[in-house]
Amino acid sequence: MKKSFIIKRKGFTLVEVILAMVIIAFTMAIFSKVIYTGFKASNSNKKKLQCIIIAQNYMEKLRGFRDYNEFNTIDSLKRYLIQKENFKKNDNILKKEEVHKSVRYSISISIDEDREVEKELFDKLAIVSVKVKSQNNNEAQLKTKFYLMDNNSFEGDEKIE
C-alpha cells in the first residue's frame, strides 16, 4: 500500500518575502523623503522667523528711544545707533553683526528723509528700514516711517556725513 503524503503549506515563499521587503523599502523611502522635506522647510521658516524677530526688536527699540526723546532728528538717530548700539557707518547705511544661537546675523539700518512731505517736515519724518540677513542667506526687511519728536536731541547736534 502506498502512502500518500499531503504537504500543507505553512508560511511564505522566498519570492513573496523578497517582494514584501521591496514594497516596504520603497514605501519607507518615499515617506522619509516627505518627512525630510518637511523638516527642511520647517527649519528654513524658523531661521526666517528669527530674522524677522531681530528686525522687529530693532524697530521697537528705535521706537522706544524715540518715544522717550532720546533723539529728535535723523542725525541724532544715526548718532544714537553709532554711539550706543555700535553700528558702523557704511555709505548711508548703518551696519552691525550679531550672533544669536550660534548663527551670525548681519543687520543693516537705513534712515532717509521722507521727501514726499512739506519742506519743514523733512528732518522730522524719517523712513527707517531694518534689514537682517543670516549666514544661511535667510533675510527679512521691515520698513516704516518715524515721526521724530521736537523735545531733546541726543548728545550734541553735529551732522553726520
Instruction: Give pLDDT tens digits for 100-141.
Output: 888 889 999 988 877 666 656 555 678 889 999 988 888 899
Q: CB–CB of 70/80 below 8 Å? A: yes
pLDDT recorded at residue 160: 40
Render pLDDT for 53-91 as a digit per residue (tens, 0 to 9). Answer: 999 998 888 888 777 766 677 787 888 888 888 899 887
Query: Residue length, the chain?
Result: 161
Residue 74: which of 142, 126, 16 has the closest Cα?
126
Q: CB–CB of 111/127 below 8 Å? A: yes
> Three cell numbers at 69?
526723546
Measured torsion, CA atoms of residues 54, 60, 62, 68, in degrees rounded to the nearest 10:
-150
Residue 124: which of 153, 158, 156 has the closest Cα?
153
Dist CA 85 CA 82 (whole Å): 6
CA atoms within 13 Å, Cβ hemisphere of 147: 5
The secondary structure of 122-158 as a DSSP string is TTTEEEEEEEEEETTS-EEEEEEEEEPPSSPPSS--P
Distances (CA, A) of 38 to 17, 27, 44, 51, 85: 32, 17, 10, 20, 38
pLDDT recorded at residue 121: 57
pLDDT recorded at residue 70: 63
